[in-house]
């Protein structure tokens, strides 16, 4: 089967970039990305490519080439579902904030709504592709909804989890380590899997396109993120030990990363991991393990989250302790709000929680990020519901100039590893700060010796004093 029409439900950080690349690489396939959020769709259609709702290096060029040719963004969800031979579901699956599984289980209400809408609209056979991160055996629930509509439509359900790293998503799509496609091993299931294999094979070697059963594919996504997060929490746990023993976590990481059995990736100590996937997927894994009575397994993976939360709080406490145990009325400059460089995604960013802690100590916080807008920063703080919106706006100032952010500040805290931070005139920054001037490098991206030469007192995670 050769697919000619694709619909993707969800125009967010996964659906938008993934479908843009598929459209660019497969000009013979019509790709329509739909979303009920009219403002988001309008941003995807904006002539000014700087206004795309997702920032990824290289994304604007891909959209520019394919949009209007065979890539379309629309709010006409029913029309796109009706026309499509293959439908990707790429909607948000946040952690539940209510009911059974609150705080751990994935909230699948958007997935269910998609399935019911497809079942209502579809009049021809469809291949349904799970692109959202989902708990194992979600495909079973999808099938139950789709196969009991009584309209005679046949559905094949595939799992095709994304393994994109935000900030390098376009390169990850162009040159993926692997594409995973899970489906039934029936003759129909194999044909459906091959249809999706054929799409990716337009630009990827076939030996990188792996096929499994659908349950293995669903679980592999959760497991991959859990393993990566585990490495981050492991090196962060060691960073605290390094600080009290006089060791340097960077040197320790280099030493252990040189072991070919371990490798060097995800061994950079920091203020903590963020993003949409790591915490959510581990909590989901914990919930699944607990639901099967595997409490030791659940406790093991939950510790990864506990360590990550500890690292954020420890960093914020260090700022307070260094500034003579009080930050009340003191200006703290927060440099970076996105959870990592080269993205405007702020979900679970360490900066949110560090700032929230400082605000609880009545610090006056000024924030600068080159890609995250003021409205998003304030919305992130409001969402925590720690204090009123009025209180947040009284204590928080968001600026567009990094030097303005640092002017008259008692301390600077670097919370995103933006490359531009490495090129600042830090002597100029220091002269405009109050003395003594403190710099807290939560991502270990600066040369602290040079900073100390110009007058900063520095703290870097994982470096002994």
Query: What was the pLDDT predicted at 234?
Result: 97
Q: Where are the alpha helices (DSSP H) in 77-124?
A: 77-83, 109-121
Average pLDDT on 218-247 reads: 94
Confidence of residue 398 (pLDDT cuts 50, 70, 90): very high
Which run of H or E residues covers position 440?
A: strand 437-441
DSSP 100: T
434 and 409 Cβ atoms separated by less than 8 Å: yes
Q: Name the residue with higher pLDDT: 145 or 433.
A: 433
What confidence score (pLDDT) does residue 338 get?
97
Q: What is the mean pLDDT of the chain?
A: 94
Q: Which one of 96, 221, 268, 280 is the catalytic residue? A: 221
Which are the contacts of 299, defined by CB distance < 8 A and separation ≥ 6? none
Write out the two tokens for 28. 């013979």
Digit-coded pLDDT (tens) for 146-159: 877 667 899 999 99
Mean per-residue pLDDT for 455-461? 95
Q: Mean per-residue pLDDT for 199-219? A: 93
- Residue that is written with structure tokens 């200006």 in the block: 331
* Both structure tokens of 434: 């109050």
Instruction: Identify the pLDDT of residue 109.
Output: 83
Active site residue 277: yes
Evaluate if residue 211 carries a pLDDT over 90: yes
Q: Is this model's pTM higher than 0.75 or not?
A: yes
Task: Examine the pLDDT at 136 and tell me if it is beyond 70.
Answer: no
Residue 298 has pLDDT above 80, yes or no: yes
Mean pLDDT across the stretch 376-393?
96
Instruction: Name the pLDDT band for 307 (thresholds 50, 70, 90).
Output: very high
The whole-number pLDDT of residue 134 equals 67
Query: Where would I find the H helices in 206-344?
Result: 214-245, 249-257, 278-291, 295-322
Q: Tell me what pLDDT residue 95 has.
A: 81
Would you give the end-to-end CA distance of the chain in angstroms? 63
Residue 294, Ramachandran bin (φ over 0: left; ψ between -120 and 50: alpha; else beta) = beta
pLDDT digits (tens, 9 = 90+) for 331-366: 999 999 999 999 999 999 999 999 999 999 999 999
Nearest to 56 by CA among 24, 16, 93, 10: 16
- Statement: residue 432 has pLDDT above 90: yes
24-67 pLDDT, tens digit each: 999 999 999 999 999 999 999 999 999 999 999 999 999 999 99
Task: Please confirm, yes or no, whether 162 is among the known catalytic residues.
Answer: yes
Phi and psi at 95, nearest 5°, equal: -70, 140
Whether 221 is catalytic is yes
pLDDT at 221: 86
Residue located via tokens 């129909």 = 188
Q: What is the mean pLDDT of residues 203-217?
A: 93
**Span 401-429, mean pLDDT?**
96
Confidence of residue 106 (pLDDT cuts 50, 70, 90): confident
pLDDT at 464: 80
Say if CB 55 and CB 344 are below 8 A apart. Answer: yes
Catalytic residue from among 85, 130, 162, 218: 162
Sign of torsion over alpha carbons 149, 82, 22, 4:
positive
Give the pLDDT confidence score for residue 151 in this predicted structure.
Answer: 74
Confirm if 11 and 53 have CB atoms less than 8 A apart: yes
Q: Which of 7, 242, 277, 406 is catalytic?
A: 277
């Amino acid at each position: 089967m050769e697919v000619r029409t694709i619909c993707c439900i969800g125009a967010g950080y996964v659906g938008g970039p993934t479908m843009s690349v598929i459209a660019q690489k497969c000009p013979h396939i019509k790709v329509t990305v739909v979303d009920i959020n009219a403002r988001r769709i309008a941003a995807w259609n904006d002539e000014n490519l700087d206004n795309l709702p997702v920032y990824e290096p290289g994304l604007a060029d891909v959209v520019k080439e394919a949009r209007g040719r065979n890539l379309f963004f629309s709010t006409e969800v029913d029309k796109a579902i009706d026309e499509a031979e293959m439908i990707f579901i790429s909607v948000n699956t946040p952690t539940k904030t209510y009911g059974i599984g609150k705080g751990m289980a994935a909230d699948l209400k958007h997935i269910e709504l998609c399935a019911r809408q497809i079942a209502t609209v579809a009049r021809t056979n469809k291949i349904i592709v799970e692109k959202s991160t989902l708990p194992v055996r979600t495909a079973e629930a999808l099938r139950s909804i789709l196969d009991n509509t009584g309209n005679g439509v046949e559905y094949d359900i595939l799992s095709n989890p994304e393994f994109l790293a935000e900030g390098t998503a376009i390169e990850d799509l162009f040159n993926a380590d692997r594409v995973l496609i899970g489906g039934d091993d029936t003759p129909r299931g194999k044909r459906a899997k091959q249809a999706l294999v054929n799409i990716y094979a337009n630009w990827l070697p076939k030996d990188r396109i792996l096929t499994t059963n659908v349950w293995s594919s669903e679980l592999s996504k959760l497991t991959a993120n859990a393993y990566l997060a585990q490495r981050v929490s492991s090196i962060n746990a060691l960073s605290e030990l390094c600080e009290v023993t006089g060791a340097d976590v960077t040197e320790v990481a280099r030493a252990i990363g040189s072991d070919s059995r371990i490798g060097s990736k995800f061994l950079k100590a920091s203020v903590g991991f963020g993003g949409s996937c790591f915490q959510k997927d581990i909590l989901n894994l914990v919930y699944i393990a607990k639901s099967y009575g595997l409490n030791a397994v659940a406790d093991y993976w939950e510790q990864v989250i506990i360590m990550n939360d500890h690292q954020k709080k420890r960093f914020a406490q260090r700022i307070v302790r260094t500034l003579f145990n009080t930050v009340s009325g003191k200006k703290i400059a927060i440099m970076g709000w996105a959870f990592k460089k080269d993205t405007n995604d702020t979900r679970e960013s360490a900066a949110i929680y560090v700032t929230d802690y400082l605000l609880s100590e009545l610090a006056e916080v000024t924030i600068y990020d080159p890609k995250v807008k003021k409205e998003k920063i304030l919305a992130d703080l409001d969402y925590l519901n720690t204090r009123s919106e009025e209180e947040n706006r009284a204590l928080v100032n968001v600026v567009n100039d990094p030097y303005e952010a640092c002017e008259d500040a008692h301390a600077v805290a670097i919370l995103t590893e933006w490359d531009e931070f490495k090129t600042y005139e830090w002597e100029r920054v220091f002269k405009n700060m109050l003395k003594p001037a403190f710099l807290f490098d939560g991502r270990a991206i600066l040369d602290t010796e040079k900073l100390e030469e110009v007058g900063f007192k520095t703290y870097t995670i994982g470096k002994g004093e």
